Chain A
Amino acid sequence: MYNYSFAEEGGMQLTEEQQALLDGAEGPEMAQCMDTLVRYGSAFKAPRLVPIKSAHLTGSFRISSFKAYYEIVERLVAAGIRVKVKTTLNPRPGYDFSLQNRLVLKGQRRHEDNLEALGVTPNYSCVSYLDVNRPEFGDILGWAESSAVIYANSVIGARSNRNSIMVDICQAVTGLTPEFGLLLDENRAGQIRVKLDADVMDAQALGFLLGRHCVDRSPVLDHYPFSVAELKNMGAAMAASGGVSLFHVIGLTPEAPTEEAAFLGREPEKTITLTQDDLTGVRASGQVQSDSKIVAFGCPQMTLEEAEQIGRHFVGKRVKRRVLFHLMPSALREFEQTPLFAEVLKAGVEVHEHCPLAAMSVRIGLGKQQVLTNSGKLYYYLEGTEYGDLDDVLKVCGVL
């Protein structure tokens, strides 16, 4: 049905059932979803399409300047197409954050209705992997959302390529992904050896630097007992300032019981050392930090443990800046049941469950006010943002 302008060499072998889908057995829209995956896989010489355990979609925001993605979603809904595997969904953009946001993000409700009509689980979290979509070691996934992909690969040992928006939906509705890249044993080896020479860890700054230094290579870090939240936030930063989709921590992450195992017995392409000074260099100066008018936590969204750990500092205090917490929706439901929640609100913290980046990007209601964050990812993406480590930002909040 389709002619391929590339991938003449060898080509992809499809099963009879897959070929039938490509030929239109379930309608032209499903055929185009298959065609997307065949083109995508052929570019990387994938020999076949393989079943996925679950999907995760990145495209939950209706961004009014873009058109094509939303048109395609409308077509799939009109054709009555449904997802074939468990499919979770990224956060809401905070369209209820302000009246103005609702205008910029107009069409958000319709887009959400469309995604739910496809059969997507409306969990609205970029941290689905600690929530309602928990893969196991070795599972093949068709995920998008760079911070989720890197966590699934690195910390869980599941296997997903860094799949694009819309490709994620093609994978969800076919239950298939092309077999290449991080799905294959040979591509899971570490490539850059990273030595850590710092007494005070700042995982988010480290992630930001690793993305810069490694770009699209997989780093292997010295052993350090990173917490779940640190692994989540560090990976997200690496996948923002770089295109890293897999990292190993010796003696901590599942594919790195030893240094040799992490490199699959190969030699590292290079070895780098990151020092305390390097970590400090990511932080804005004290003066610059204190000029911030807003302090934002939670990109990726905070877990319950993070909300409790950070929230404790606010008990009996009063914030000196606008302070925003962004939690996974399921974590917020639990947080609301704790006595700490009332204390945090009493201190003046605003507690949300949407994406801080989407909500603040439009800057309506914020103007040019400088934002301070301890998120390496938010620091990369949000204009007018400075970075501080946890102690820095708590000081600017006025609670430390």
Chain B
Amino acid sequence: MSVANSEITSLKGRPIIAGEASGPALVTRQAVNFTAAMCKPANLLPGRKAQMWDVHHELYKVYLDGVVLVFPACIGSTHTGLVLLDLVAEGKGPAALLVQDADSLLVSGVALAETWYERSIPIVEVPGDDLFEHIETGQPLQVQRDGTILLR
């Protein structure tokens, strides 16, 4: 298991979609299937749109509202864009996405919200294991436009 290193105060990634955001980190080393997580009947209930209902994932039943999600990759269905587009357009999803490998679906969900709803959240790609070695769940993070992630 990796341990957060207190000497590191920032990480620098590539801003796939640039923007500023802050929030508590939510870290998982397991790839996320947004369709499996958020197209369940439970997500129909008020306030539960961003709750993870993927029984195959360690974040089962965890809420993504307002968090800076730290994860390795986005997997699964091409309905991912349906989910992320709504979460970003309505401001009901994560504050930012920090990912090892940004894929086509993750980017599309946010790009669609930018084009059609003029809403956005930052996506920063940080290859390697830095994200997992230096960030712990609950840690306050600040994401800057140039892809810098300030660790508090």
- B107 pairs with A380, CB closer than 8 A: no
- On chain A, the residues within 8 Å of B76 by CB distance are 146, 239-243, 380
- Going nearest first, the 9 A-B pairs with the smallest beta carbon separation are A164-B81, A164-B108, A243-B75, A144-B78, A39-B111, A43-B107, A58-B78, A165-B81, A65-B44
Interface centre among A35, A163, A166, A243 (most CB of B within 10 A): A243
Whether the pair A166, B103 counts as a contact (CB closer than 8 A) is no
Distance in angstroms between the alpha carbons of A72 and B82 in the assembled complex: 11
Q: Which of A144-174 contact B (CB under 8 A)?
A: 144-146, 149, 161-168
- The answer, yes or no, to whether A102 is at the interface (CB within 8 Å) is no
A-B contact pairs, 30 of them (CB 8 A): A5-B18, A5-B120, A6-B15, A6-B16, A6-B17, A6-B18, A35-B115, A39-B111, A40-B104, A43-B16, A58-B77, A58-B79, A59-B82, A66-B82, A66-B83, A69-B82, A72-B116, A144-B78, A163-B78, A163-B104, A164-B108, A165-B80, A166-B85, A167-B111, A215-B73, A216-B31, A240-B33, A242-B31, A243-B73, A243-B76
- Say yes or no: A68 contacts B113, CB within 8 Å: yes
Which residues of chain A have a CB within 8 Å of any CB of chain B?
Answer: 2, 5-6, 32, 35-36, 39-40, 43-44, 58-59, 63-69, 72, 144-146, 149, 161-168, 181, 211, 215-216, 239-243, 361-363, 380-381, 383
Task: List B contacts of A243 (CB < 8 A).
Answer: 31, 73-76, 103, 105
Whether the Cβ atoms of B103 and A216 lie closer than 8 Å is yes
Question: Which residues of B sit under 8 angstroms from A363, Cβ to Cβ?
Answer: 41
Q: A59 near B79 (CB under 8 angstroms)?
A: yes
Q: Is B149 in the interface zone, CB < 8 Å from A? A: no
Question: Would B73 and A32 count as touching, CB distance under 8 A?
Answer: no
Distance between Cα atoms of A381 and B35 in the complex (Å): 8
Given A32-B115, A363-B41, A216:B107 Cβ within 8 A: no
B1 within 8 A of A: no
User: In the complex, what distance in Å separates the CA atom of A132 from the CA atom of B112?
Assistant: 29
Closest Cβ neighbor of B112 among chain A residues:
A166
Q: Across the interface, do A167 and B49 meet the contact criterion of CB distance under 8 Å?
A: no
Complex Cα distance, B15 from A39, in Å, reads 13
Evaluate contact between B77 and A146: CB separation under 8 angstroms: yes
Residues of A within 8 A of B73 (CB): 215-216, 243
Query: Are A380 and B31 in contact (CB-based, < 8 A)?
Result: no
Q: What 10 additional pairs, Cβ within 8 angstroms, besides A64-B44, A146-B78, A165-B78?
A: A5-B18, A40-B108, A164-B82, A215-B72, A215-B73, A216-B31, A240-B33, A243-B103, A361-B41, A381-B77
Is A164 a contact of B15 with CB atoms below 8 Å?
A: no
* A381:B36 contact, CB within 8 angstroms: yes
Q: Do residues A44 and B104 form an inter-chain contact, with CB atoms below 8 A?
A: yes
For residue A239, which residues in chain B have a CB less than 8 angstroms away from its CB? 76-77
Contacts of B115 in A (CB 8 A): 2, 32, 35-36, 39
The distance in angstroms between the C-alpha atoms of A39 and B102, with both chains bound, is 14
Q: Does B111 lie within 8 Å of A36, measured CB to CB?
A: yes
B5-19 CB mask vs A (1 if < 8 Å, else 0) is 000000000011111
Whether the pair A167, B112 counts as a contact (CB closer than 8 A) is yes
State the CA gap A383–B37 with chains docked (Å): 10
Q: Which of A65, A68, A168, A242 contacts B116 (CB 8 A)?
A: A68
In the complex, residue of chain B having the shortest beta-carbon distance to the beta carbon of A384: B55
Taking a contact as CB atoms under 8 Å apart, the answer to whether A63 and B111 are in contact is: no
Decide yes or no whether B94 CB sits under 8 A from chain A.
no
A59 to B105, CA, bound (A): 14
Q: What is the CB-to-nearest-CB distance from A177 to chain B, in angstroms, rounded to a whole number?
A: 10
In the assembled complex, B132 has its CB within 8 A of some CB on chain A? no
Q: Contact check: which of A161, A165, A362 meets B82 at CB < 8 Å?
A: A165
